[in-house]
Amino acid sequence: MAHQPHHYLSYQDRVSEVAFAVLMVIIINGYVALSNLNTGFWYIVGVNLGACFGWGLIDGLVYAITSSLERNSARRQLAALQGIRDPTALKAQARQAVSGSVFDSLSPEGKDAVADAFVAHMPTASAAGSVRLFTREDVTGWLSIISIYLIVGFVLALPFLVLPDKILAWVTSNVIGVIWLFWFGTQLGACIGQHRLKLGAFMATIGLLFLAVSYYVWA
């Protein structure tokens, strides 16, 4: 997924991490709760949270590394562009950078205007942030992802703490998870600008398929 490291996690990042965590917990619940009906309730909760912490740690590390690579790549590109002394060559590079970006829908004259502005302001441009492998924003995003996974794991583990029947707790936990996935689909549709209910239904269907496979394999 694409990350914006300058403000920890974007809204799209957060809801996506929630969806990934829900799908993972559905699989874990199926294995721990259904493979052995004598498994203790606290053991199920502990496995849920432990797995969520471990996966959040890995996913957060990937986020931090990706953010670092994007930031330092942009810094190197800026330094390379500032090293071009020929205005014509610099404009050609700027024109190339415009292609494939949000400015790609402009007319050729509009793209030339953007490239001219790019060339005019390039001498005063400076890369944001310090030259470090990981910044505070990277680490905070990493910790935020771990927190998201732990919160999802805890919420979906709650039925195992309050309901006496393990099968009922498994069903309740996964119903919450499927509803969560439906909400994620609607938010994905909101970002796209269309098909909110269709995408919600699609994500809920994915969750139900995970449930069916989990039940078939572990029950």
Kindly report, residue by residue over 104-154, the tens digit of the pLDDT.
777 777 777 877 777 777 767 665 555 677 888 888 989 999 999 999 999
Q: Report the pLDDT value the prediction gives residue 2, as an integer from 0 to 100.
A: 39
Question: Do residues 114 and 98 touch, judged by C-beta distance below 8 A?
Answer: yes
Mean pLDDT across 171-191: 91
User: Helix 11-29 and helix 136-162: axis angle, to 10°?
Assistant: 40
pLDDT for the residue 38: 64
How high is the pLDDT of residue 1? 39
- How far apart are the C-alpha atoms of 18 and 200, rounded to whole Å? 14
Grade residue 100 by pLDDT with cuts at 50, 70 and 90. low
> 41-82 and 87-98 helices cross at what angle (nearest 10)?
150
- How far from chain centre, in Å, is Cα 45? 24
pLDDT at 168 over 50: yes
pLDDT band at 35 (very low <50, low <70, confident <90, very high): low
219 pLDDT higher than 70: no
Per-residue pLDDT at 200 exceeds 90: yes
Overall average pLDDT of the 173-185 stretch? 92
* Sign of the C-alpha dihedral computed for residues 179, 185, 190 and 194 taken in this order: negative
In this predicted structure, what is the pLDDT of residue 5? 39
pLDDT over threshold 90, residue 81: no
Quote the mean pLDDT of the chain.
Answer: 81
Residue 99: pLDDT above 50? yes
Model pLDDT, residue 206? 92
pLDDT at 86: 77
**Bigger pLDDT: 158 vs 2:** 158
**Please, are residues 180 and 200 in contact by the beta-carbon 8 Å criterion?**
no
pLDDT over threshold 80, residue 161:
yes
State which of 3-17, 41-55, 115-129 shows the largest mean pLDDT: 41-55
Q: How confident is the model at residue 201 (pLDDT cuts 50, 70, 90)?
A: very high
Instruction: State the burial class of residue 210 (Cβ atoms within 10 Å of its Cβ: 0-12, 13-18, 19+).
Output: buried
The predicted model scores a pTM of 0.75
